[in-house]
A and B are shown apart, each in its own frame.
Chain A
Amino acid sequence: MIEPTGLADFFTIFFSSAMVILLGALYALLFAYARIRAMPLLMPLAYLSYAGLFISTLFLAQAANLLSHPLWETVVACMLLGYLLAPHGIWHLCVGTHAAGAEKDAVTEVIPESMTKEA
């Protein structure tokens, strides 16, 4: 079920795990910032961060022996898909919740047009 990692791979695991989370956050940050400020030039940087996350995940999977069992391969796939889609999903939720709130409170200027257009 699990194959313990080798001594030589300790650092790779710790480093790549940290990079997965940090690049995930950077991807989410750039993604949201590009849309909220209507700065499409930032979007490639966001996806570059995701590419870094992708590579880090593969390093992690290799070092932690995750590619030797179907279950752990599924975990890797779920992580890659989850990190890719989560910012998109949360963005839609943000637009939806804020728009509904703005409508009710008649504070329509809360969400600039540029933000809803991108969504």
Chain B
Amino acid sequence: MATPGICDSANLNGGQKLAVKYFTVAITLFGAQVLFGLLAGLQYLMPDFLYGVLDFSVNRMVHINALVVWMLYGFLGSVYWLLEEESQHEIVGLKLGNVIFWVLTAAVTVVVLVFLLVQVGPGKESTIWLINEGREYIEAPRWADIGIVVSVLVVFYNVAATFGKGRYTGIAGVLVLDLLALFGIYLAGMFYTTNISIDQYWWWWVIHLWVEATWEVMVACIMAYGLMKVLGVRRKIVETWLYIEVALMFGSGILGLGHHYFWIGTPEYWFSIGGVFSALEPIPLVAMVVHAVFDAGARHAKNSNHPTMAWLIAHAFGNFFGAGVWGFMHTLPQINLYTHGTQWSASHGHLAFFGAYATIVIAMFYLAVQKWRGDVWMSGGLPGNGWKWKWALGLLNLGMVGMTMSMLVSGYVQSQIERAIEGSSWIGYFAAQSHHWFVQGMWWREVFGVMFAAGFVLLVWDLLTIGCGEQRKLVPASDSV
């Protein structure tokens, strides 16, 4: 073991070294997401800003794609991080995993450069393959799609083969099946049909099922591991709850996909399916509150990593408010008719993605830094009372809540004026966009976006410095893993 307080790869196993690479790219792309989000937000207020140089459509596209890719990197990194500890076996095919990391990263770089350098041009068959697929959220060209699928297959091979040779736990079983789905469902976004309704039908499989189902399960696995590491919760308990959560998610989450099928020309029965299951989706979230209280009351456990624990708590709250409250407010078709695709959706999307996914990846960053520095102390009594991680946590969360509320105001105006009063006409669109409440909402969104960006800078600074020179070793969480 190397000297505590210094980032030394000798402190990490093979999978964790690879995970650090994934985490590094993830946080870089997180920064890109914030930057392009700020630029796009500014273009709402000053439409001429960077027009013809870096158009709004490109800024928005990079903002959203950076989000999807940084989270994917964060999740894959987290999987590699826990793999050897969980399986108690060296990773099978680690060299291939390393090669794929570099190939994937090179591909992501090329895709972003092409997005920025080829902003306009003819839409031909070759465009889909080489420039831009033209489908919102998954604009990456087809060659990059194939690259993503191959990469996920290699991760699947690493994970399945390693668990196959090592210890096969409950987390292992769920993770292996989930990676298979992560590979399979992405395929639904790799073809198109000339019928826009059918095309959208399959496209939502990627956007809803890939992102909201397979990612949710992966987050549940990471959460299970995180709770064992930070709080020392017994394996039997976390694995039982992992199964329960997956069952609840399958019970309501998958057919909740129907709320995306309301307005794309699919048969009328999707109103019933989407409405019913979307209405039932928050019930498991409420049920989880009981479990959280039960666990807290039953254990009185002390955690071994305060920043990680704080971000895990932020995850629980963010998921509940972003996905639960903000989702349910406009999920029924009777109201969704007016809110779908307005800033209301953006408000829900921002809080739900941040709460459900970004928070848990950040929690893993802190877990990784602790081990990288030699399992150093990261509980109370950090230098400066840990002001950097606390301020980063505060600024990022307040910034996100502020942006969410601002977009909510703008979305309310949009759904009333543009949709309900003016019937989704062009006149209605411009009337809503120029309404002073809408504009004020957009200004506040930008202000809170800057606050969020400040939190991001502080987060990066803290991740680079926390535990630096720390000589105290961590006190393991109470129960054994």
Q: Is the pair B329, A14 in contact by a Cβ cutoff of 8 Å?
A: yes
Considering the complex, give the chain A residue whose CB is closest to the CB of B333. Answer: A2
Query: Smallest distance from the beta carbon of A60 to chain B beta carbons, Å?
Result: 8
Interface size class on chain B is 35 or more
Stretch at the interface among B72-80, B117-125, B269-277: B269-277
**Chain A residues in 8 Å Cβ range of B268:** 1
Q: Is the pair A105, B290 in contact by a Cβ cutoff of 8 Å?
A: no
Whether A22 touches B293, Cβ cut-off 8 Å, given contacts A36-B298, A65-B334, is no
- Report how far A3 CA is from B337 CA in the complex, Å: 10
Interface residue? B330 (CB, 8 A): yes
Considering the complex, give the chain B residue whose CB is closest to the CB of A87. Answer: B290
Q: Is the pair B297, A22 in contact by a Cβ cutoff of 8 Å?
A: no
Give chain B's interface secondary structure class.
helix
Interface residue? A79 (CB, 8 A): yes
- Report how far A4 CA is from B424 CA in the complex, Å: 14
**Chain B residues in 8 Å Cβ range of A97:** 236-237, 240-241
Considering the complex, give the chain B residue whose CB is closest to the CB of A6. Answer: B420
Q: Is the pair A22, B279 in contact by a Cβ cutoff of 8 Å?
A: no
How many chain A residues touch the partner (CB < 8 A)? 53
**Chain B residues in 8 Å Cβ range of A79:** 279-280, 283
- Report how far A74 CA is from B273 CA in the complex, Å: 12
Whether A83 touches B283, Cβ cut-off 8 Å, given contacts A25-B320, A97-B241, is yes
- Report how far A71 CA is from B273 CA in the complex, Å: 10
Between-chain CB contacts (< 8 Å), 21 pairs: A2-B271, A2-B337, A4-B334, A5-B335, A10-B338, A13-B335, A14-B412, A17-B332, A21-B286, A25-B320, A32-B290, A32-B297, A64-B332, A74-B276, A82-B283, A87-B289, A90-B288, A93-B291, A101-B234, A105-B479, A112-B298
Given contact pairs A7-B416, A21-B324, a sample of 17 additional A-B residue pairs in the complex whose CB atoms are under 8 Å apart = A5-B335, A7-B420, A13-B335, A17-B330, A20-B282, A22-B325, A24-B286, A29-B293, A32-B289, A64-B332, A74-B276, A78-B279, A97-B237, A97-B241, A101-B234, A110-B298, A115-B297
